[in-house]
Amino acid sequence: MEETSASEKFEIKLPLFEGPFDLLLFFIERDELDIYDIPIAKITEDFLNYIEHLEVLNVEVASEFILVAATLMRIKAKMLLPRPTLDEEGNEVDPREELIRHLLEYKKYKSVIAELSEMEMNRLNQERRGNLMKEIRKLSESVNVEAEMQDLDLYKMMRVFEKVVDRYEFEKNKPVHKVVQYPYTISGQKTYVLTRLSTTDKGRISFVEMIQESPEKIVVIYNFLAILELLQLEQITLHIGEGFNNFWVEKRSLDSETKEIEA
């Protein structure tokens, strides 16, 4: 009998979607969610897991998927903030409102895609009525090499050469867009913050100090989102300090939790 090798690779097939909104609608219909009350945390997790699986399979992730993933994370961060955004009339603004509007528009256009595709196929199968002799004469002129050579002169050759050079310069200098994936995750930065608090002598660390240690903008954003999630999970506490964006992060202790319960 032939034994199956432990290192044998299994092929994993994932459904490919036409765009990020197509993927979001799939999650909403699969889980029977209310499109007007989307659970952002669950949708974001499913969306990022799908992108990670594509990267494992070496499938190139389009820039619009990265943009929507960043939008979902931004909405999630806004919903974690304690102070809501208000409009001119003082009403609370739902951070999901713009996303819901785009999803409804995409769903509306998607519902007529099949009908438009059928109309396109029917139109392609039709042929317009023309003048047969005129078309035959036009085809004969287009393949008459001697007639074309008679009308050729140096000026026309220079114009053609100029167009070729211009097209070459345009293609050579055309900007190239490259999506760079940062090696940071909110889960990883949560571990970093907790480890940093456990190793400091003071038992707490200021946000300014964290920025000075890693001043890169993307790291600061991920650290801030990690702090918001840890605060929501009640694993840390914040102490407001003096100055702009200056606050202290401190790990919650058992004594403080006991005092809150007794109080």
Tens-place pLDDT, residues 78-120: 777 766 676 677 677 777 788 888 888 888 887 787 788 888 8
Domain membership flag for residue 138? no
Check: CB of residue 68 under 8 Å from CB of residue 22. Answer: no
Domain membership flag for residue 71? yes
pLDDT of residue 174: 83
- Give the domain extent around 24: 20-84+93-113
Domain membership flag for residue 258? yes
Which comes out higher in pLDDT, residue 216 or 87? 216
Label residue 259 by pLDDT band (50, 70, 90).
very low
Cβ neighbors of 232 (< 8 A, separation 6 or more) are: 80
Residues 25 and 108 in one domain: yes
Domain membership flag for residue 243? yes
Q: Is pLDDT at 146 greater than 70 in this prediction?
A: no
Ramachandran area for residue 142 (φ above 0: left; ψ -120 to 50: alpha; else beta): alpha
Cβ neighbors of 51 (< 8 A, separation 6 or more) are: 61, 65, 66, 69
CATH code of the domain covering residue 253:
1.10.10.580
Kindly report each contact of residues 215-222 with a partner whose C-beta sits within 8 Å and lies 24 or more positions away, as own/partner: 218/182, 218/184, 219/184, 219/189, 222/182, 222/184, 222/185, 222/186, 222/189
Label residue 9 by pLDDT band (50, 70, 90).
very low
Domain membership flag for residue 155? no
pLDDT of residue 197: 87
DSSP secondary-structure letter at 205? E
Residue whose structure tokens are 């256009």: 109
The total domain count for the chain is 2
Q: Is pLDDT at 121 greater than 70 in this prediction?
A: yes
What are the angstrom distances between the C-alpha of 76 and each of 42, 88, 143, 155, 247?
10, 23, 63, 63, 22
Mean pLDDT check: name the lowest of 30-34, 104-108, 145-149, 188-192.
145-149
Mean pLDDT check: name the lowest of 52-56, 154-158, 167-171, 220-224.
52-56
Q: Is pLDDT at 5 greater than 70 in this prediction?
A: no
Domain membership flag for residue 61? yes
Check: CB of residue 193 under 8 Å from CB of residue 238. Answer: no
Domain membership flag for residue 224? yes
Residue whose structure tokens are 């196929």: 121
Query: Phi then psi for 7, rounded to 5 degrees?
Result: -95, 10
pLDDT of residue 261: 40
Label residue 263 by pLDDT band (50, 70, 90).
very low
Domain membership flag for residue 147? no
Distance from C-alpha of 102 to C-alpha of 201, rounded to nearest angstrom: 49
pLDDT of residue 90: 67
- Mean pLDDT computed over 38-49: 84
CA 114 to mean position of chain CA atoms: 26
- Mean pLDDT computed over 22-51: 82
